[in-house]
Chain A
Amino acid sequence: MSPTPVELREVATVLRRDVLTMLLEAGSGHPGGSLSCVDILAVLYWHAMKVNPERPTWEDRDRLVLSKAHAAPALYAALARRGYFDVRELLTFRKLKSKLQGFPDMQKTPGIDASVGSPGQGLSIANGLAIAARRDRKNFRIYCLMGDGEAQEGQTWEAAMTAAHHGIDNVCAVIDRNHMMGDGNTEEIASLAPLGDKWKTFNWHVISVDGHDVEALSAAFNEASSTKGKPTVVIAKTVKGKGVPFMENRPEWHDRKLTEDLYEEAMRALA
């Protein structure tokens, strides 16, 4: 049974708290871009995706390619809370011998569907999975969660062209549109607007939503599933650092280290 919006929001809060605890413990990592995509991951793993945490390599499962690989803490928290591995493992993030590498490694972590790290590569991988699914007459879906900065990578647009040309409708790209990248605002560094129009011109079905509204996200993924003959991109408007007031919309929190005091303050905001 699908969780209610209230339950999804509760899951998201738990994940945000996990992310902060992991980052404090690790002493490094990316808070801003992890917090901005937590609601998306909650809706994917608790509502949209057909998965079985007891069988992480189940052939017919839906897949997630975390193209914005620096948001690994958010994905690890989701996988742990969904039951892929013990929640206590989260405290080993970025540590020697850990299952939880700084960026996702499918060979180490149950539930990771593709190893990723270099930006702009995820959508090609998603397309490949989709092409293989089609050949095998399987109907699993592939979600590719991307950062908006990745739209500056050329390979993203190569893959966008490939997906549309081949009418790949089992891929759903999700763009975490938080308008921030490592060095500042995307529109000041290399503007992406009009982002939706760009994808439309590439023959994608475009859905724009509030990326923190779990009901809107659920509806968007349902619409994507029923869109045939072309790929769908969900442009999820988000706030970088969402849920922690002193991090929200502050580019410096892309990869800043948390202190104990700031951690306490952040956890109070997420109580």
Chain B
Amino acid sequence: MPEMGLVDVHHSAVKLEATNRGYERGLIELAERGADIIVMDADLAGSSGTSEFRKRFPDRFMDIGLCEQDMLGTAAGIALAGKCVYVTTHGMLAAGKAWDIIRSTICYGALNVNICGADAGLSAGGAGGSRQSLEDVAVMRTLPGMTVVVPADSLEAKKATIAASRIPGPVYLRFAAARVPIITTDITPFTVGKAEVYRRGDDVSILACGVVVYEAMKASRMLEDNGIGARVINCHTIKPLDRAIISRASVETGALVTVEEGASIGGLGGACAEALAQTGRATPLKIVAIDDRFGESGEHEELLNTFGLTARGISAAVREVISRKKDEQPQS
């Protein structure tokens, strides 16, 4: 689909980069353009991707120390004075430790604070279950007025970071530390709240977000070789969810698979299930995610494998929903 400007994922020279880096480049571009932003970090600038920004724009940067709750509260105060703040910490610290401040101070006041959950999902690999944030999307999504975006690669991460500066209320941006393929290009369209069809197909739709969009693309390509047309939709914005594209996918392809590097409860899969159930159509749906358990130590790729978040795992899920579609359809 050349109009999307996507990279051919089967090409061997696909470039790898952490989405954390895209966040940093987005911040630098904003500051270079003269945007009045303030970036905060809580002693994680080295890993979360704000260290280059700190070097170049020291007067726009504040490392508050190891106190995430105070950082989010301070960010709220800075935003109250009319400024656009980016707050950076690990996903599980933002969504876990600081959630009450995000809820009661930032969201309740509809403040312009962009919260960046770095090293999220399984990308904190070696650190294991306690540091891998799998539930961040679910808990952020319930907050009134919160926008939730999970970029697929570092380029999309940069676009999302810049886009967040134009959204007046709070935004949760989820980034990953693992180096993952860059599948989009500068011309690939990106609008918060608007999902994009990355591959066409009429037999099933794969709705994916984050770094596993790449795996969904690979799965679709593999399935195509077997005569199955799997539409791939990049659902980078979990909230507000692009209900129209999901509804269309359910009508046109009759079977859905969601894929995310997070909890199977309340994330993209949960959001799609909520949307779908309320359309009144009984479309078979399979949620490919991490099912009610913590992560564990390992390389990012090994962990994706363990949890079935690979082209192979996605293909198996696709075959399952397609067979359910056939079982559940009345024979004419």
Contacts and interface: CB of A to CB of B under 8 A. Distances in A.
Interface of A: 59, 65, 105-107, 113-118, 121, 123-133, 135-136, 142, 154-155, 158-159, 161-162, 165
Give the dominant DSSP class at A's interface.
helix
B65 interface: yes
Contacts of B74: 124-125, 127-128, 131, 159, 162
Interface of B is mostly: helix
Nearest to B109: A115
Contacts of B82: 59, 132
A124 B70 contact: yes
Interface of B: 38, 62, 64-65, 67, 69-83, 100-101, 103-105, 108-110
B166 to A, nearest CB: 20
B76 A125 contact: yes
A129 B80 contact: yes
B78 A121 contact: no
A124 B73 contact: yes
B65 A128 contact: no
A155 B77 CA distance: 14
Contacts of A59: 82
Residue from A116, A129, A132 with most neighbouring chain B CB atoms (10 Å): A132
A107 B169 CA distance: 13
Contact of B77 (A107, A117, A124, A154): A124
Nearest to A156: B70
B68 to A, nearest CB: 9
Nearest to B68: A158
Contacts of B79: 128
Nearest to A120: B69
Given A114-B80, A116-B104, A162-B67, A155 B109 contact: no
Contacts of B101: 118, 121, 124, 155
B105 A132 contact: no
A159 B80 contact: no
A114 B109 contact: yes
Given A107-B110, A162-B70, A114 B104 contact: no
A127 B77 contact: yes
Nearest to A114: B80
27 contacts: A107-B110, A114-B76, A116-B105, A117-B104, A118-B104, A118-B105, A121-B69, A121-B73, A121-B104, A124-B69, A124-B70, A125-B73, A125-B105, A126-B77, A128-B75, A128-B78, A131-B77, A132-B77, A132-B78, A132-B83, A155-B69, A155-B70, A158-B70, A161-B67, A162-B65, A162-B67, A165-B65
